[in-house]
Every structure is written in C-alpha cells, then in structure tokens.
Amino acid sequence: MQEKNRKKVYILCAVGAVLLVTALVALAIWMHGRVPAAKQAEATTGAVQTLPETTTAEQTTEPPAPTLTITEPKKETLTVQSPYITIKGACDASLPLTVNGQAVTLAQDGTFSYDCPLKVGKNTVTVTNTDKTFVFQVTYERKLIRSVSPKKAVSAEGGMTIEVSAVAMAGSKVTASLAGVKVTLSEENSSKGEAYRTYSGIYTLPKGTSEQQKLGRLKFTAVYDGQTETVSGASVTVNAIKYVEVPVQSGKGEVKEPTVSGDGKVDVLTPNADHGLGQAKMILITAKYAETCPGETADDKSSPLCTPFLEGTYDYVKNEAKFDDTMYYITQSGYKVEKDNAQSQDGFVLPSNTISVYKSYTDDYTTAVLTMNWKAPFVSELKPQAYRTGYAGRVFNVTGSTAKYIDFKFYYTNAAQGSFDFSGSSTVSRAEWVDIGKNGTTTLRVYLKRDGKFYGYRAYYASDNRLVLQFRNMPKSLSDTVVAIDPGHGGKDSGAIGANGVHESVINLRISMLLKQNLEAAGVQVKILRTTDTFIELEDRQSKARELGADVFVCMHNNAAENSSASGTEVYYYRAYSQPLAKAIHAQLASAWQEIYANDAAMRGKVTPSDGGVRWYPFRVTRIEECPTVLVEGGYLSNAKECAALNIPANQERIAKAVCQGVLQYLKEQQ
C-alpha cells in the first residue's frame, strides 16, 4: 500500500515538473517577443549580436550577400575615346575578381582599379566577383587628338616664337601648320604611360610690319594606324609695330645721386615729369610681385631665368600680346608682364638710371641697400648653372648645384658705385659691379661662399624708396630653423579623388600634420598654412610662402593619373637652389615606400620613376625666390593599391617621417 502510494507521488511529481518546465518555456518565448533582441544579446554577452534564423529541419547560415560595387563607370552603356576603360570599385577581398576573365589584384581594403583594354567599336566588359556580375556595353570611338594649345587666340609681335602643343594618341605622328608653314611636333618625356602623350614644337612668327598680319588658325594633324585627324587651334595675328623703341644710353656713365628729403626718403624720378628726352609709352607695376615671362616667346611658359618685377617698377612698352585669354605687355627690357599686374600710361622718357650702395650688413640676413634714381626693372640669375632637358620636355632640370654667384641685372642703368661689407655672412662672400653700362644694363654680382650653396633672397622697396636685397643665411641650429608646410587643396577643392573615394585634401592634411609633429619633435619651428579642411586660393598660398620668412617651404600633395597603374613618388622644384632639398626628400620617400611595399616586388619596382623622380616643373606655389621650395607628390591615389596604402595611418606616419628626415638631411648637408 505504501509502495503504490509512493509511485503515484513520483508520477505526480514528474508530471508537475514537466508542466512547470513547459510553463517556463512558454513564458520565455512570450518574454522574447516583449524584450528587444539587442537587449537580450547585451544581457548575455555585453554586445549586440544578430541571432541566426532557424528552420523546422535544422539551423542553417545564409551565404553573405555579394559585396561587389562599381563606382566607375557610372553608366552601363557608354562611349569613350580612350583605348581602355578604368573599372573602379570594391568587393569582398576573399573572393576572386575578374574583368573579362582577367584576374584583378585587389588592394588591401578590397578596392580595385583596373584598366580594361578596348578594341575600336563595340565592347562588352564583364566584371565578376563570384556570384555577382556587372556588364557594361562600351563603344570605343578612337580620337587621335584630345586637346591643343594655344586654343583660342594669339596676337604677338613679329619674330616671336610660339610653343604649339597637342595631347595626342601615344605613337602618333603630329604636326602643326600655319600660313603654309608646317612644324613637326616631338613627344615630350613622360613616365606615366598614359594612352595620350603631349607633343610640342616651336613656330616662329614672321617679322612685324606697320600693318597687322592675320595668319589664320593653327591646324594640328595626327596620324596613327592609318587614321588621320585634324583639329583647329588658335587664330594667330602678328601685331603691327606699335610703339617706337626708346634709345638706351650704352657705355659707362657717372653716378648722379638723387635728391633725398629731410626724413631720408629718396625722391625717385617718374615718367610723369618731362625730363627733356621725349615721350614714351610706359607701364607701372601695380602688383606686389608681377611674374615675368621671356619677351621673345608668345606663349605663357614660366622660366626660372626670369624674376618678378617689384611693385612700383617702371618699364617701356614695346608692344602687346595675347595668349588664349591672357593679355600681356611686352617690355623693352625683354619680358612679358600680364596686363592685370600693371597699368599703362603715356609718359616721358627717363634718364639712364644710376645706383649707389647705401649700406650693407649681416644679422639674420645678409643685406644690401641700394639707392637708385628711379625704380628700373631688374632680374636675377644663378650662374653658372648646369641644366638638362628632362621631365615634360622642360630644359631647366638641374644636373647639379654648380653656381658660383648670383647676378642682378639692372636695365636702363649705366652707372653704379659703392662697395659691400658682407663679413659674418654664411651665404655670400663679396659683391662687385660688373659690365657697367653694357648694352644699357649694369650687373651686381654677388659671390657665394660655397659653390651651389644658396638659400634664396627677398627683394623689396622700403618706405624710403631704396631697394633692399636680403640674402637668406643658413640657420645655425634646428631651433633657429623655420619650416613652412602647405597641405595642398582643401575645402571646396578636394584635389584628386582616390580609388576608394578618399579626397586628396584629407590625406594631404593628415600627412602634413604628422610632418609638423615630426619636425617639432626634432626641434624645428613649424608654420602651417591650414590645420582644417579649408580652401586657400592658389595666389594666397604663394603670397603666404613669400611672407612667412621660412627657411624651407614644403607643399604636401598626392598624385593621380588617367592610367590607374601609375604609381610612385615624385618631388618637384622650380628654382635651381631648391633641387638639393627635392633630392634629399625624394631619397627618403623612396626608402619609405620600399618598406611599405616590402612584400610586393611589382609595386617596389615602380616607387622611383625612370627619370629619378626629382623634377623641374613650374607649379605656382614653387615659383618664389625667398627660400628653397618643393612640391611633394607622396603617391598615386588613382592606383587602388597605393591609395589603400596612403589611407593607412601607419603609412601616413612613414611618409611624414620620410619628408621630415629629408628636410633634416638637407639642412645638415648645407652646414
């Protein structure tokens, strides 16, 4: 009896337990519907999790959704004029990617940029990343000439030369013709391997007459693979001889000291008063620094053999010129000045200028102060300086720092006197007047203490109307050194946009801020043009560079090319004395990239271009005289691998450190 009752109790307890468990499960299911899934996950793991879906048969995991995205091209059907189309995008880096069956190498972040070759006519381009495919219908209409220069209008003085150029299909035979004269254009040096190259040549205008000569339009013709294409360029006019050349006194004369007022201000002569020498058409420079170009050419190519005319300078007008949208005065001294930087007037011929030394001394700068009768034009040039034809066909690529002195050539000047005391200067040893009155010019020759060691100068007219020439001395220590940094682009100007969508302006700023930290850690004083994503006009960057008083100026950029395979690093300079700085920085940058590509032999082989990567080019911000100035192209954002590498903070630090080491190495070498 007791045994049977005990079994019943056991059975009842078991049934009760089952009912209790069932109730608890039901309660849990009900609560699961009441409490957010995220909160359930947080309660168990402290992190938000996604719970797997289940089926009645068994728990299964869905395959990940395809991640392939295409950012370029943006249309499925398109027409292009290049022999390839660049496919850009991103995908799952663990899955193979092919374009028309060709395997594509992915960047570390899964982005890619691939130049798919095309045949003339219709092409189908298929991009596949395992289970997702994009198909593009691309029509390649081969265009031999992409652009020409000059394009709009040229009016110039007879006998001037014009550099004519065309961007045409690589391998083309390109000519330019005008008024029955044909010029064969030569391909300029380029290391980027684009489908289109720049071809250029020189056309010489016929002599001027009393009548205007309209020569018609330039015609550019390219021939490639049996195809011929002709494109019209600028209309060209030879101006009539407009202004009478002013006779210039040649031969050595006597110094005629100008009148100096009681407050020490020099009473300089102007063409507003009649000096009994006749009348002349003149210009007054109104810009603080008016860039000049060679007067014998009709194009707008900058030259380091020219230097800016200072505000207040007078010169005689020989003629006028136009190149595309820019109007110029051609001066009798032999230069072109943009009309926007000067004002013309009918004035009176000035007597020959004379110069005397007011004082000279050395403190932070080595300074010479000169008294002149009037503000005559002058230019400077390092001599003797060896150059070679290099990047982009430019003839001012420096082969080595060979200069022994810098010449300041004053026009319309036939007399000079006075000696200089440059004791204590670390840059210049002495100065003398040479070729006084030769062809109506006089030269101040300033000798360097060491061949090729020059660090720039500043020229300006002081409030007393005297001309001040300040030569930069090399700082005695790092704590005395000022380095200015210009993070390229910013604000509304993003610069290049990378294969992964990153903006060049952002990368430039990140590297520049790291460069600032590295330089300051080394004891250098740093001035930086921007610390946020703000826009600065190109002209303002140049003027800031002149005014900052820096010993070194570094413009930090990154590159882009039409060909997505282009990669590597380059450093550009304009003045010959900036080349040693460019060389030192590039050597360190190349080493940094070799480390970044330690496991990628193909990319390592492209770090340094065939021409060495240290190049002359007339970038606006580098066209200053005040200090050695370079523009650094850290890497190529148009190359997916390089773009991904540039976006990694550790690599940005490597690049910043490399530029810093280059600057420090340069400073050490100059001591």
Q: How far is CA 309 from the centre of its chain?
A: 23
How far apart CA 467 and CA 360 sit, in angstroms, is 12
How far apart CA 213 and CA 216 sit, in angstroms, is 9
| End-to-end CA, the chain | 114
Give 285-300 pLDDT, tens digit per residue.
999 999 999 999 998 8
Between helices 579-596 and 649-670, what is the axis angle to 10°? 150
User: Does the global pTM surpass 0.95?
Assistant: no
Where are any strands of DSSP class E within 18-110? 69-72, 77-80, 84-90, 98-99, 102-103
- Residue-level pLDDT at 188: 85
Is the bond leading into 73 cis (omega within 30 degrees of zero)? yes
Q: What is the DSSP letter of 211?
A: S
Mind listing the domains of the chain with CATH numbers? 69-140 (2.60.40.10), 145-238 (2.60.40.10), 259-472 (no CATH), 478-670 (3.40.630.40)
Backbone phi and psi for residue 146, each to the nearest 5 degrees, phi listed first: -90, -40
- Residue-level pLDDT at 193: 57
Give 30-51 pLDDT, tens digit per residue.
333 333 333 333 332 233 223 2
pLDDT at 309 over 90: yes
Is residue 273 within 8 Å of residue 192, measured between CB atoms? no
Backbone phi and psi for residue 578, each to the nearest 5 degrees, phi listed first: -90, -15
Is residue 414 within 8 Å of residue 250, measured between CB atoms? yes
Query: 385 or 671: whose pLDDT is higher?
Result: 385
Q: What percent of the chain has pLDDT over 90?
A: 84
Q: 292 burial class (0-12, 13-18, 19+ CB within 10 angstroms)?
A: buried
- Residue-level pLDDT at 333: 97
pLDDT at 664 over 90: yes
Assign 3-state DSSP to the chain and report helix, strand, coil percentages, each to 5.
Answer: 20, 40, 40
Burial 472-496 (b: 16+ CB within 10 A, else e): bbbbeeeeebbbbbbbbbbeeeebb
Residues whose CB is less than 8 angstroms from the CB of residue 65 and which lie 6 or more positions away in sequence, other chains included:
none
pLDDT at 66 over 60: no
Our CA angle for 268, 293, 344, nearest 5°, is 45
Mean per-residue pLDDT for 542-559?
95
pLDDT at 486 over 60: yes
pLDDT at 641 over 60: yes
Q: Which of 218, 392, 375 is nearest to 302 (CA)?
A: 392
Is residue 621 within 8 Å of residue 629, measured between CB atoms? yes
Give 72-123 pLDDT, tens digit per residue.
999 999 999 999 999 999 998 888 999 999 999 999 889 999 999 999 999 9
Q: How many Cα atoms sit within 13 Å of 403 on the Cβ side?
A: 28
Is residue 156 within 8 Å of residue 162, measured between CB atoms? yes
How far apart CA 658 and CA 643 sit, in angstroms, is 18
Is residue 256 within 8 Å of residue 173, measured between CB atoms? no
Confidence of residue 131 (pLDDT cuts 50, 70, 90): confident
Is residue 348 within 8 Å of residue 280, measured between CB atoms? yes
DSSP element (H, E) containing 468: strand 467-472
Q: Which of 138, 18, 34, 30 is nearest to 84 (CA)?
A: 138
Is residue 144 within 8 Å of residue 185, measured between CB atoms? no
Is residue 209 within 8 Å of residue 241, measured between CB atoms? yes
Is residue 179 within 8 Å of residue 169, measured between CB atoms? no
DSSP element (H, E) containing 509: helix 504-521
Range with the lowest mean pLDDT among 18-22, 351-355, 424-428, 617-621? 18-22
Is residue 100 within 8 Å of residue 125, measured between CB atoms? yes
Backbone phi and psi for residue 200, each to the nearest 5 degrees, phi listed first: -145, 160
Mean per-residue pLDDT for 353-364?
96
- Residue-level pLDDT at 58: 39
Q: What is the DSSP letter of 143?
A: -
- Residue-level pLDDT at 382: 97
DSSP element (H, E) containing 187: strand 181-187
How far apart CA 671 and CA 356 sit, in angstroms, is 33
Give 505-525 pLDDT, tens digit per residue.
999 999 999 999 999 999 999
Residues whose CB is less than 8 angstroms from the CB of residue 430 and which lie 6 or more positions away in sequence, other chains included:
420, 422, 446, 447
Give 171-195 pLDDT, tens digit per residue.
999 999 999 999 999 998 754 557 8
Q: What is the DSSP letter of 574?
A: S
List the helix and strand counts (H, then E) for the chain: 8, 43
Confidence of residue 55 (pLDDT cuts 50, 70, 90): very low
How far apart CA 411 and CA 442 sit, in angstroms, is 7
Range with the lowest mean pLDDT among 457-461, 546-550, 612-616, 633-637? 546-550
- Residue-level pLDDT at 11: 35
How far apart CA 364 and CA 292 sit, in angstroms, is 29
Confidence of residue 7 (pLDDT cuts 50, 70, 90): very low
Give the residue carrying structure tokens 């009176």: 348
Residue 6, SS3 per DSSP: helix
Q: How far is CA 82 from the centre of its chain?
A: 25
Q: 188 burial class (0-12, 13-18, 19+ CB within 10 angstroms)?
A: middle
pLDDT at 668 over 60: yes
Confidence of residue 499 (pLDDT cuts 50, 70, 90): confident
Is residue 133 within 8 Å of residue 101, measured between CB atoms? no
Confidence of residue 8 (pLDDT cuts 50, 70, 90): very low
- Residue-level pLDDT at 190: 59
pLDDT at 272 over 90: yes
Q: What percent of the chain has pLDDT over 70?
A: 89
What 598-606 contacts at long range (C-beta under 8 Å, 24+ apart), as own/partner pairs, is 600/641, 603/567, 603/641, 603/642, 606/567, 606/568
pLDDT at 488 over 60: yes
How far apart CA 484 and CA 150 sit, in angstroms, is 36
